[in-house]
Structure 1
Amino acid sequence: MQLVTIQTGKTITLDNIEVEIIKYLGVLNNQIHYYQVKVVKAEKLTLNQSLGLLRIGDIESNLSHEIKLRNQLNNYGMISDLWANITLENVIINLSNPEENYFLNLYSDLKVKENSLLTNSQNLEIIDNQEDENKEEKDDELTKDFIINEKDNHHHELKKKKIEDNYLKEDGKIEDDYLEEEYYPEIEVTNQESSTKLLILTPYPPEKNTLTHWLTQSHSDEEKLSLLVILCQGFFYLSQNGWYSLNLSPDYISIETPIKLYDLTCIYPQEIVLNTGLLGNYCPPELSYSKEINQFMSSYVIGSLMYQMFHNNQLPNTQNLTFNLIPRIYQILQISLSPIPEERYSLNQLLQILIETRNALRHKTISWQILKKSILGLSQKRLVNEDSYGIKEQEINQNNIVIAGIADGMGGMVDGELASKLAIQTLLKTPIDFDLNSQESQQKWLIEIFNQANKNINQQVKDGGTTLSVILGINNQLMISHVGDSRIYLITNGEIKQLSEDHSLVNMMLASGQITEEESINHPDRNVLIKSLGSKSVLTSGYVQDLSKNNDKISLILENNDLLILCTDGVWDYFTNQQFLDIFNQENNLDLAINKIITQVLNEGASDNATILVLKCSIESYKF
């Protein structure tokens, strides 16, 4: 049978994938060897030159658990792809690099000592054996000296001394067999602990995407909690399928969409009972001795990572933990990291609390500064103000809702005034009964207001009609509905945008190219409307404009200090968009800005009624 040697620089083939072993990464999770490899040749061409993670362990190692878990969950999104999975009988792990051997031997020596100590911790009988204690002290001193001398670059001499001691005869002479290996530092060292091995090949996580790298970067509290929520969701899903994560390998967790787990050897089936203790940076303390596993251990793992995120340090190995005084975070950590497993959250409880805490951070406190002004104008023909406006604010289940509308009546003094009033009254009197979580429901509610206002005007006004422009703000989400030539503007990030379109004859001619922008300014049909409420018995589909007219969506998200401006043509007729923008940019005081606009309208002659509403959106994020 062919012998397979695993060492840096060699090329091996796994399930028709030829890989070159680039780098030895160490021994983790119960004597599993980790390597970085590069795909040299594969049937799937996209894999060529890709980096891979090769792990090699005994057939009873945690790798066997991983294969069982992968088979059970099949294509679960949080688990990385599996490129190859084979069992080979004649495998030699050859660590020809002295540094690699040093870490392997050091790990093995310390692991044996650790397992011995962990096993002894279960024994309730105190054994008074001075000779064993002295031997253990000597072993500790030898291990300590070994590590120190290795760090001082004297490892070859010390290894030689240890080997000589092991081969001394009773008379103090060295056995002849050992003399043949007196050039030990120059001899290639191999590890042949077990020839039958399980080999797993997966993609290699991009280093800048790993959780290890992510933890070195600065993140908002919301980003931290969002990541914890995703991991906790994954752990909860695993628990529902009979598996518990008892530790984390941040080097092999990739922060992408979705998060990917490349190494599953920290995840154990629930029926397993650990025969020896398990230690790790994120392990619960009760795993330091053999124990049945449960979901409270996984909650501790999440808590350990949460501690690291909010303290910029890994969880210290101490029973007297102290936490930063951060409301909510403090309580979650205290319960999740309780030394008594049954006092911790279940995974489902922890998941719900993390979601609630994250959502609290996402909740924005919205407030509106609202100013308005309406004037009759200076025309001798207009002795009644046919403009109407209305504003309503309400809070429903901690959701801030603002509704504002403006209407410009037409058809004569009495009819125009009545038509605009009916439109605004319909808007303000309609109960808010839409679904707060459905934009379609909200848009349908707005359209129904326009239909009802149109019906009321047709029933009560003989020869009049009105424009109607409405904004609906739900927290920082904005929707509009609009008919006519009143306007809705948004000033955001130093720019002004007209959200409504003019339903006028001149604007239609301009859009079709029949006239130029300059010709449209003083066109004789400038005030002729092609859409208004009261001009049709029934509004057809699409008659009312929403934001999807010029955008892909029917809503947009407002930012802090955004300004919404609603005005009739008696105002905007005297200003370009840039002039509007300049006035509001120059005046921090909105009262002064509005007064400046109205003053200019009067100075220009104010031939029409003039009405303007300004709503300033202030957004404050929740803070712990």
Structure 2
Amino acid sequence: MSRTVVLHGQTDLGRRREENEDNFITVSGLWGTPSRALAGAIDGVGGYEGGAEAALIAKETIEEYLQHFSFGAPLQLLKEAAIAANNKIFEQRREHATLGRMSCVLSVAVLDADKEMMYIAHVGDSRGYVYRNGSMLKITRDHSSVGMKEDSGYLTEAEAMQHPRRNEISKMAGEQFLDAEDSNNYFDIAEHSFLPEDIALFCSDGLTDLVTQAQMAEILSAPGSLQLKTQQLIDKANELGGKDNITVVLATYTAAKKPGRKRTKEAIEVPIATPSYESNDIMPAMNTSSAKKKIKLLPVIIAFIVGFLMNWTGTRSFFATKEPPAPVPDTIAVPLDSLPVVDSARLRQLDTLINATDTIYRDSVRRNALQGY
């Protein structure tokens, strides 16, 4: 059973802005597969004309590119899509003088539940997180001096959130034309694990400037749908001031359940299949005629063994070492008064018979004769 990635995205104007320059991506069933999805947050750079247009161009270009091209490694395809979005924004800057500084920042990912992986393209100070086992894992790095100091531990999260230069960024999509080689140093192209029950979070700095990771984890750990959690994160940012546009995208999936076995008290007959061996099997083929002969001889062999065991007492002496029999004397001394009267012709016939009999039986034959045979 294929796993299904569930998505929800939402953007909010905030409390102080008059225009929303944020945008987001939520594409379910990427490449016709429910286990794959495209998700991300895009933030038009505030203070410059065309921030909202740049965010929209990035959204449409990345979505169209990844839905049109499906052959290749996801990470490579995402990288190409990010380059295409960057260059399209750059071209718009050159064509329109009023949009000369239009740009955006983004964190976008291809999610693959079957492989339990996500593939990320990132530039600027939008962020990507993974909520796992009660904790938030930051999977992107801010392209800003303050963000780098926070990631390195030089600044605490609270210090970075209050820093006056927090929103000064060093990289933005659309600032320069990129080819395939340049993008390796400009965009952060990476991959990260995406496990069952994880919640992937992509957001603009309108959320992270105000809501701590601990507060995010508290909301994401509570029961409720992704839609509810998304709204709660936005509400929290607005509650803390809502000084910028707020964009939140959440994604998750559950592990496929294995079908359970049914238990029954009734006996179940299980047919036993007779294995068949082909010519390339490990066990060589058996000669059929030879096998039949062996099967016919089997009862005879068994009967012989059983009979032998049953008569072991009487036959064990057969296997014992025998001494040669004592020689039988040719004549036997018999008292004359004990001899019966025998006809002479009868004795001659007996002598003939005795001579023809094996010497082992002479004694008994002669004794029988003398006793009146």
Bin for the TM-score computed over the shorter chain: 0.5 to 0.7
1:482 aligns with 2:122: yes
Higher alpha-carbon Rg: 2
Separation of aligned partners in 2, 1:520 and 1:494: 23
Partner Cα separation in structure 2 for residue 400 and residue 511 of structure 1 = 31
Aligned pair partner of 1:454 in 71, 82, 86: 86
How far apart are residue 375 of structure 1 and its match? 0.9
- Other-structure match for 2:164: 524
Q: Do the aligned partners of 1:374 and 1:611 also contact (CA within 8 Å) in 2?
A: yes
Deviation at 1:512, TM superposition (A): 6.5
What does residue 592 of structure 1 align with? 228
Are the equivalent residues in 2 in contact too, given 1:365–1:619 (CA < 8 A)?
no
> Which residue type is aligned with residue 537 of structure 1?
F
- Partners of 2:145 and 2:135 in 1: how far apart? 27
Q: Name the aligned partner's letter for residue 429 of structure 1.
A: E
Residues 48, 102 of structure 2: 8 Å contact kept: no
1:384 — aligned with what? 19
1:517, CA displacement in angstroms? 5.1
Unaligned runs of 5+ in 1: 1-363, 548-553
2: CA distance, partners of 1:396 / 1:519: 43
Q: Percent identity?
A: 27
Q: Is the Cα–Cα contact under 8 Å of residues 412 and 464 in structure 1 kept in the other structure? A: no
In 1, Cα distance between the equivalents of 2:33 and 2:232? 36
Secondary structure at the counterpart of residue 542 of structure 1: helix
Q: Is 2:183 the partner of 1:545?
A: no
Greater relative CO, 1 or 2 (CA 8 Å, sep 6+): 2
SS in 2 for 1:371: strand
- Determine which of 35, 50, 71 is the counterpart of 1:400: 35
> Which whole-Å CA distance do the structure 1 matches of 2:219 and 2:32 have between them?
37
Partner of 1:465: 103
Aligned residue-pair number: 248
Find the aligned partners of 1:402 and 1:609 in 2 and give their Cα distance. Answer: 24
Question: Is 1:424 aligned to residue 59 of structure 2?
Answer: yes
Q: Distance in 2 between matches of 1:623 and 1:491?
A: 28
CA distance in 1, matches of 2:226, 2:256: 20
Shift of 1:376: 0.8
Give the direction of change, closer, same or farther, for the CA distance of 1:584–1:450 in structure 2 (3 Å limit): same
CA distance in 2, matches of 1:522, 1:393: 37
Alignment partners' CA distance in 2, 1:527 and 1:397: 38
Q: Is the 8 A contact 2:117 2:195 kept in 1?
A: no
CA positional deviation for 1:577: 1.2
Secondary structure at the aligned position of 1:467 is classed as strand
CA–CA separation in structure 2 for the residues paired with 1:500 and 1:374: 20
| Residue pairs, 1:74-93, within 5 angstroms | none
SS class of match (2:195): coil
Q: Secondary structure at the match of 1:537?
A: coil
RMSD between aligned alpha carbons? 2.4
State the distance in 1 between where 2:149 and 2:249 align.
29
Counterpart-to-counterpart distance in 2, 1:376 and 1:457? 23
Residues of 2 paired with 1:433 and 1:568: CA distance? 27
Equivalent positions of 1:304-343 (< 5 A) are none
Deviation at 1:432, TM superposition (A): 4.5
Give the C-alpha shift of residue 395 in structure 1: 5.7
Partner amino acid, structure 2, of 1:463: R
Shift of 1:394: 2.8
The CA distance in 2 between the partners of 1:515 and 1:507, in whole Å, is 9
Structure 2 length-normalised TM:
0.61
| Matches of 2:206 and 2:146, distance apart in 1 | 16
Amino acid at match of 1:534: G
1:612 to partner: Cα distance: 0.5
Change in 2 beyond 3 A, CA 1:398/1:621: farther
**1:501 pairs with one of 141, 145, 148:** 141
Aligned to 2:237: 601
Whole-Å Cα distance in 2 between the matches of residues 368 and 525 of structure 1?
37
Where do 5+ consecutive residues of structure 2 fail to align?
A: 94-99, 261-373
Shift in Å, 1:576: 1.5
Distance 1:371 1:402 in 2: 11
